[in-house]
Chains A and B, each alone.
Chain A
Amino acid sequence: MLKIDNLHARVEGREILKGLSLTIGEGEVHAIMGPNGSGKSTLVQVLAGRDDYQVTSGSVTFLGKNLLDLAPEERAHEGLFLAFQYPVEIPGVNNTYLLKAALNSMRKHRGESDLDAVEFLALIRDKMKLMEMDASFLNRGVNEGFSGGEKKRNEILQMAVLEPRLALLDETDSGLDIDALKVVANGVNSLRSADRSIVMVTHYQRLLDYIEPDFVHVLSAGRIIRSGDKSLALELERRGYDWVLKEALEESQA
Chain B
Amino acid sequence: MSTKPAEALQGLRQAFADSAPADPVLRKQRERALERFMMHGFPGTREEAWRYTNLRNLTRRVFVTAGDGAISSDQLNACRIPDLQGHLLVFLDGRLQHQLSDQNLPAGLRLSHLEAQDSEDSGQTLPAFSNLNTAFNQDARLLQIDANTSVEKPLYLLFVSGQNEQPTMLHPRLEISAGTNSRINLVEHHLSLAQDENLVNSLIDINLAAGARMNHTRIQDASKKSFQICRVNVDQARDSHYTHDHICLGSALARMDIHVSLSEPGAEVELHGLMLGQGRQHMDTHTQVDHIAPLTQSRETYRCVLDGKSRGVFNGKVVVHRDAQKIEAHQASNNLLLSDQAEIDTKPELEIYADDVKCSHGATVGQLDKNALFYLLSRGIERTMARSLLVFAFADEIVAGIGEPSIRHAMEKRIVSQLPDGDRLREFV
A interface list, Cβ under 8 A from B? 48-51, 71-73, 75-77, 81-82, 84, 87-88, 90-93, 96-98, 100-102, 105-106, 109, 141-142, 158, 162
Q: Are A109 and B380 in contact (CB under 8 A)?
A: yes
B390 in contact with A73 (CB, 8 Å): no
Query: Which of B369, B375, B392 is within 8 Å of A87, CB to CB?
Result: B375
Chain A residue at minimal CB-CB distance from B399: A92
A98 adjacent to B377 (CB under 8 Å) = no
Say which one of B110-118, B325-333, B381-389 lies at the interface with A. Answer: B381-389
The answer to whether A72 touches B378 (Cβ under 8 A) is: yes
Minimum CB–CB distance from B389 to chain A (whole Å) comes to 6
Contact A93 B390 (CB under 8 A): yes
B397 at the interface (CB under 8 A from A): yes
- Residue of A72, A98, A106, A158 ringed by the most chain B CB atoms within 10 A: A72
**Chain B residues in contact with chain A, CB under 8 A?**
369, 371-372, 374-383, 385-386, 389-390, 392-394, 396-397, 400, 424, 427-428
A93/B378 in contact, CB under 8 A: no
**Whole-angstrom distance between the alpha carbons of A91 and B394 in the complex?**
8
Contact of A72 among B377, B392, B397 (CB under 8 A): B377
* Residues of chain A with a CB closer than 8 A to B396's CB: 92
With contacts A48-B378, A73-B377, A101-B389 known, is A90 near B372, CB below 8 A?
yes
Instruction: Give the secondary structure class of B's interface.
Output: helix
- CB of A92 within 8 A of CB of B397, answer yes
A162 touches B393 (CB 8 A): no
Instruction: Give Cα A96–Cα B428 distance, bound, in whole angstroms.
Output: 9
Contact B397–A76 (Cβ < 8 Å): no
Known contacts A49-B377, A72-B374, then 16 further A-B pairs from the complex at CB < 8 Å, ordered by chain A residue: A48-B378, A50-B374, A71-B383, A88-B372, A88-B374, A88-B375, A92-B393, A92-B400, A93-B376, A93-B392, A97-B428, A98-B379, A100-B428, A101-B424, A105-B381, A105-B382
Separation of A141 and B375 alpha carbons in the complex (Å): 14
A50, A71, A92, A158: the one contacting B379 at CB < 8 Å is A158
Q: Are B380 and A105 in touch, CB under 8 angstroms?
A: yes
> With a CB–CB cut-off of 8 A, which chain B residues contact A102?
376, 379-381
Give the CA-CA distance A96 to B389 in the complex, in Å.
Answer: 13
Across-interface contacts of B386 in A (CB, < 8 A): 73
In the complex, residue of chain A having the shortest beta-carbon distance to the beta carbon of B393: A92
Q: Taking the nearest CB of chain A, how far is it from the CB of B254, in angstroms? A: 24
Complex CA distance for A189 and B372, rounded to whole angstroms:
28
Closest residue on chain B to residue A97 by CB atoms:
B428
Check A73–B375 contact: CB distance below 8 A.
no
Q: Which residues on the B side are within 8 Å of A98 (C-beta)?
A: 376, 379, 381
Min CB distance B338 to A, Å, is 16
- Residue contact B375 to A71, C-beta cutoff 8 Å: no
| Bound-complex Cα distance A71 to B376 (A) | 12
Q: Is the CB of A106 within 8 A of B380?
A: yes
Task: Report B-chain residues with C-beta under 8 Å of the C-beta of A81.
Answer: 378
Are B380 and A77 in touch, CB under 8 angstroms? yes
For residue B383, which residues in chain A have a CB less than 8 angstroms away from its CB? 71, 73
Interface centre among A91, A96, A158 (most CB of B within 10 A): A91
- Chain A hits for B427, CB < 8 A: 100
User: Considering only CB atoms, which chain B residue lies closest to A168 in the complex?
Assistant: B378
Q: How far is the CA of A81 from the CA of B379 in the complex (A)?
A: 7
Contact between B378 and A92, CB atoms less than 8 A apart: no
> A93 with B379: in contact, given A50-B374, A88-B371 (CB under 8 Å)?
no
Which chain A residues border B390 with CB–CB below 8 Å? 90, 93
Closest CB of chain A to B405's CB: distance in Å? 15
A105 to B400 alpha-carbon distance, docked (Å): 26
CA distance A51 to B377 in the complex (A): 12
Bound-state CA distance A102–B376 (Å) is: 8
B397 contacts which of A48, A91, A100 (Cβ < 8 Å)?
A91
Can you list 18 contacts pairing A with B, beta carbon distance less than 8 Å? A48-B378, A49-B377, A49-B378, A51-B374, A71-B377, A73-B378, A76-B380, A77-B380, A88-B371, A90-B369, A90-B375, A92-B397, A97-B389, A98-B381, A101-B389, A101-B424, A105-B382, A142-B375
| Chain A residue with the shortest CB-CB distance to B394 | A92
Q: 9 nearest interchain CB pairs?
A: A92-B393, A76-B380, A102-B379, A72-B377, A88-B375, A105-B380, A97-B428, A73-B377, A93-B393
Among A76, A88, A92, A102, find the residue whose CB has the most chain B CB atoms closer than 10 A. A92
Assess the A90–B381 pair: CB atoms within 8 A: no
A52 CB, min distance to chain B CBs, angstroms = 8
- Within the complex, the shortest CB–CB distance from B170 to chain A, in Å, comes to 35
Residues of B within 8 A of A109 (CB): 380
Which A residue's beta carbon lies closest to that of B385?
A: A101
Complex: chain B residue closest to A82, CB-CB: B378
Could you tell me the distance between the alpha carbons of A90 and B391 in the complex, rounded to whole angstroms? 11
| Chain A contacts for B371, CB-based, 8 A | 88
CB proximity of A110 to chain B, nearest CB, Å: 11
Using Cβ atoms and an 8 Å threshold, which residues of chain A touch B424? 101
Interface hub of B372, B375, B428 (most chain A Cβ within 10 A): B375
B375 to chain A, nearest CB (A): 4
